[in-house]
Amino acid sequence: MKAKRPTKTQRLSSTTINTLPQTIIENILCLLPIEEAAQTSILSREWRYKWTTIPKLEFGSSSVLEIRTQENQTSHVERARKIMERRRKLFNAIPRVLLMHQGPIHEFSIDSIANCDCFELDPIIFHLSRNHAVKKLKLAFDYMYPHNNNARRCGLLHKLPLCAFSLHHLRDLDLSYVDIDHQPIFSGFGSLRSLSLIKVKISTKALLHLLSNCPSLKRFTLLGSICDKDCTIIELFDCLHVIEDLTIYGDTPELLVLDSVPNELPTSLIHLKYFCFNEPYFGEDHGLIFLLILIKCSPNLEKIELDVNLFFLLFILVPAKIH
């Protein structure tokens, strides 16, 4: 008697990947974009809800980049329209994904997919703060700004919901192009190890309050995120007592008060080992003064990295040397 051929479901159930422990399957699914992870639900009945238990949710720009690379023949207008449509669909899918999710969420990321007219951010962060012990949060919005303008003046920023400061389990916080228009009233991010503020609109008072309530902060990145000039360089350093890794972008020293530096500088950055000065500008001495003060305040500094813009080298340093 001729043996029956195994069905597709039977063949799938006997595969090596299907016999792996659930934790390993979750780790594999975490490596996929959320759209692809969700598509594994069509493999079989057993796989239908596996993706809903993964602890890492990333709504990123991978599918947007796909459009940019695959449709080079289309017009710029058509490509931009498709990118915006894809971004809108991804953002609109977030509440549905959160509703279907069945396990803890430890990492959550929105990367370059949302527009300024999307106001659904508040309920998303509120859901995370009430239901999950999120350890890593990334909110990185990607907007187009007028030439020679920046986030502080443009006003096209998402306001960071107050409930974000209820995520007390955070270890890694990455914010880009958001507006912190209030001084957060919270007990602090006691577990926060890494903080990145890229073009974040925040007052000096709110920034210093935030940093002073992160007692375990080891890594800090700051790019053009101070909307006033009331912060002195000493005040900033005094909030970074245990910092080990510091990255400052070129325009930041211009926003700090440098003319009231005391003769005797405190060695406040005693744990700092690595400093990266990204695209430094020394034209008006702000960058140079900042760098000298930082070196004097960091007795255990091991490495300084100057990530200099090629434009600066070719059009600033070379002509100056010639003249």
Q: What is the pLDDT of residue 137?
A: 97
Q: What is the pLDDT of residue 49?
A: 85
Q: What angle do CA 109, 112, 113 make, to 5 degrees?
A: 90
Select from 271, 226, 215, 217 the least CA-distant residue to 248. Answer: 226
The per-residue pLDDT for range 118-148, each reduced to its tens digit, is 557 889 999 999 988 999 999 988 654 444 4
Q: pLDDT band at 9, cuts 50/70/90?
A: low
Q: What is the pLDDT of residue 10?
A: 54
Q: Which two tokens stand for residue 122?
A: 């508040």
Q: What is the CA radius of gyration of the chain?
A: 24
The H or E element that residue 309 is part of is none
Q: pLDDT band at 319, cuts 50/70/90?
A: low
In this structure, are residues 189 and 166 in contact, taking their beta carbons and an 8 Å threshold?
no
Q: What is the pLDDT of residue 195?
A: 97
Dihedral of alpha carbons 38, 40, 43, 47, sign: negative
Q: Which two tokens stand for residue 202?
A: 């925040």
In this structure, are residues 221 and 172 in contact, taking their beta carbons and an 8 Å threshold?
no
Q: What is the pLDDT of residue 82?
A: 77
The per-residue pLDDT for range 88-122, each reduced to its tens digit, is 778 888 889 999 998 899 999 988 765 555 557 88
Residue 276 CB: number of other CB atoms within 10 A?
A: 16
DSSP labels, 100-156: H--S---EEEEES---TT--THHHHHHHHHHH----EEEEE------TT--HHHH--
* Strands (DSSP E) found in the chain: 56-59, 107-111, 136-140, 158-159, 172-176, 178-180, 194-198, 201-202, 219-223, 231-232, 245-249, 256-257, 274-278, 303-307
| pTM (predicted TM-score) | 0.81
Q: pLDDT band at 153, cuts 50/70/90?
A: very low
The per-residue pLDDT for range 157-204, each reduced to its tens digit, is 788 888 999 999 999 999 998 888 776 677 789 999 999 999 888 888
Residue 290 CB: number of other CB atoms within 10 A?
A: 22
Q: Which two tokens stand for residue 65?
A: 């980049």
The per-residue pLDDT for range 262-304, each reduced to its tens digit, is 666 666 899 999 999 887 766 666 777 888 888 888 999 999 9
Select from 263, 321, 320, 273 the least CA-distant residue to 295. Answer: 273
Q: What is the pLDDT of residue 192?
A: 96
Q: What is the pLDDT of residue 17?
A: 66
The per-residue pLDDT for range 227-241, each reduced to its tens digit, is 676 777 788 888 998
What residue type is 15 in one-letter code? T
For residues 236 and 229, what is the distance between their CA atoms, to the nearest angstrom?
A: 12
- Decide: residue 2, CB within 10 A, 0-12 exposed, 13-18 middle, 19+ buried: exposed
If one compares 254 and 28, the residue with the highest pLDDT of the two is: 28
Cα→Cα distances 79→35, 62, 70, 142, Å: 20, 15, 10, 16
